[in-house]
Amino acid sequence: MTTPDLTDLRALGYDETIAFAAELGQPRFRGEQIWRWVHAQMVDSIDEMSNLGKDLRAQLKARATIGTLTVAEIQTSKDGTRKLRLETRDGKSIESVLIPDGEKTTQCISSQVGCAIDCQFCATAKLGLTRNLDAGEIVDQVYRAKKLLAEVDPGRRITNLVYMGMGEPLHNYDHVLSSIRTLTNDLGAGMSQRRITVSTAGLVPRLEKLGQETIRPNLAVSLNASSDEVRDRVMPINRKWNIGRLLDAIRAYPLEQRRRVTFEYVLLAGVNDSIADAARLAKLLRGIRCKVNVIPLNPHPGSEFRRPTPEAIEAFQNECKRLGMATYLRTPRGDDIDAACGQLANRSNAEALVTLRVRSPDIAPIA
Ligand code: SAH
C-alpha cells in the first residue's frame, strides 16, 4: 500500500528529482542516481537503490514512494494484443494496450480516467471524465508494460508509444508533456520523440501551444468527417473549433522536416464513408504534409453507428488513394478483448465508474 501524502518519484521530472534530492541535503549526483533507479532500472522500491546509503534510503522512504499503479487484469487477444487494466491509488481503472506488429511493439497509453470530449462513436466518451492522470501515472503505465513484456515475451521491447488510449491528451496538457520529457530523457527510459505520437480530437489552442514546445512528438489528429455538419454531430468539439480552424492550426504547425501529420478517419456507415466524403477530404487536406489512417468503426454496446461493409471501406480507400492521399487502412487489433480504438471503457466496471463520476476541481475547462 502507498500512502497518498508520499511523493511519487515517478511523477517528478528530472530537474524536480534533483531538487527533491537537494531538499534532503543531497548533491546533484545523488539526485541523478535516484533518477536512474526510478527511470532506467525502473525499480519499484527504494530498498533496491543499492548505491545509496542506508540513512538516505530511510530518509527517502519517509518522504517518497515509486509508482502508484497496480496491474489489475491482463487480457490477451488471439492476435497477440494485450490489454492491461491498471488501478490507480485512488481506486480508478485505466487501460493500456500492447500491440505487437512485426518487429515493432506499440503501446497505446491513457492520459485521463475517462474523457470529456464526448465523441459519439467512442466507448470511452460514455464514461465521462473522472480526472486527469498525473505524469507519474502516465509513465508508470509504460514501465509496468515494459516489465510485463520482459516476463512474457522477453524478445520484445516497446518501440513506439501512442497517446491514443483513454482520454484527450491535450486536455491534460502539462502532465502529458511532462511524461514525454521523462520518457525521452537519455538518463532514464531514453525513448525517441520520433517514436511517440500524441493524438488529439482537435483542441486548437493547445495544438498551437504544442507547436511552440522544444519537445516534438508526432502529431495525430482525429478528423473523422469531411464536413462541419457531420463533424458537429459526431465530434461535438467541432462546434468550438471547426474543421477550418483546426486545419489552419495544422497548416501553421511547425512540422519538422520529413515528418507528416497523421489524420485519423473513423469510417461510419452512411455517415462519412461516401465517395463524396473522400473527395471533400482530399480537398481539405490539400497542401498539408500528411497521411490518413482509415479506421473502420469498432462497434461497442450502445453505439448508434455501424461499420461500413468491406466493399464500402475498400471503395472509400481506393478513392482516397486515387486522389493522391497517403492512406492506410487500420485493421482492428485486439477487438475480441475490447482493446481496439474506441473500445476502451473498463468494460468490467464501466457501470461503477459512471455512477461514481465526479468532476475534480483541478481539471480546467476545455480551452
Ligand atoms: N482523444 C484523442 C485520443 C484518443 S485516440 C483523439 O481523439 O485523438 C482514439 C482514436 O480512436 C481516435 O482517432 C478516434 O477517432 C478513434 N476511435 C474512437 N472510437 C472509435 C471506434 N469506436 N472505432 C474506431 N476508432 C475509434
Q: Is the CB of 222 under 6 A from ligand 1?
A: yes
> Where exactly are the structural domains of the chain?
7-65, 70-337
Please confirm, yes or no, whether 341 is among the known catalytic residues.
Answer: yes
User: What pLDDT, on the 0 to 100 scale, is given for residue 205?
Assistant: 98
* Contact present, 346 and 93 (Cβ < 8 Å): yes
Cα separation, 273 vs 224, whole angstroms: 10
Please confirm, yes or no, whether 95 is among the known catalytic residues.
Answer: yes
In CATH terms, the superfamily for domain 70-337 is Aldolase class I (3.20.20.70)
Q: Is the CB of 122 under 6 A from ligand 1?
A: yes
Cα separation, 153 vs 149, whole angstroms: 5
What residues pair up with 197 in beta bridges, in sequence order? Answer: 162, 218
Question: pLDDT band for position 357 (50/70/90)?
Answer: very low
E strands, 137-223, where?
160-163, 196-200, 218-222
Q: Is the CB of 111 under 6 A from ligand 1?
A: no
Cα separation, 297 vs 40, whole angstroms: 38
Q: Whose CA is nearest to atom 15 of ligand 1?
A: 222
Paired sense of beta strands 82-87 and 93-101, if any: antiparallel
Which pLDDT tens digit goes with each residue over 67-122? 999 999 999 999 999 999 999 999 999 999 999 999 999 999 999 999 999 999 99
Paired sense of beta strands 327-329 and 290-296, if any: parallel
pTM of the model: 0.94
Cα separation, 24 vs 5, whole angstroms: 17
Grid cell at residue 326:
497517403
- The shares of helix, strand and coil residues in the chain, as percent rounded to the nearest 5, are 40, 20, 40
Mean pLDDT of the chain: 93
Grid cell at residue 301:
454496446
Q: Whose CA is nearest to atom 21 of ligand 1?
A: 342
Which pLDDT tens digit goes with each residue over 329-350? 998 889 888 888 888 887 654 4
* Contact present, 166 and 114 (Cβ < 8 Å): yes
| The architecture CATH gives domain 7-65 | Orthogonal Bundle (1.10)
Of the residues 16, 95, 115, 311, only one is catalytic, namely: 95
Cα separation, 171 vs 152, whole angstroms: 34
Pocket test for ligand 1, best of 122, 241, 303 (most atoms within 8 A of CB): 122
User: What pLDDT, on the 0 to 100 scale, is given for residue 348?
Assistant: 54
* Contact present, 248 and 285 (Cβ < 8 Å): no
Residue 158 CA, ligand 1 centroid: distance in Å: 21
Q: Is the CB of 201 under 6 A from ligand 1?
A: yes
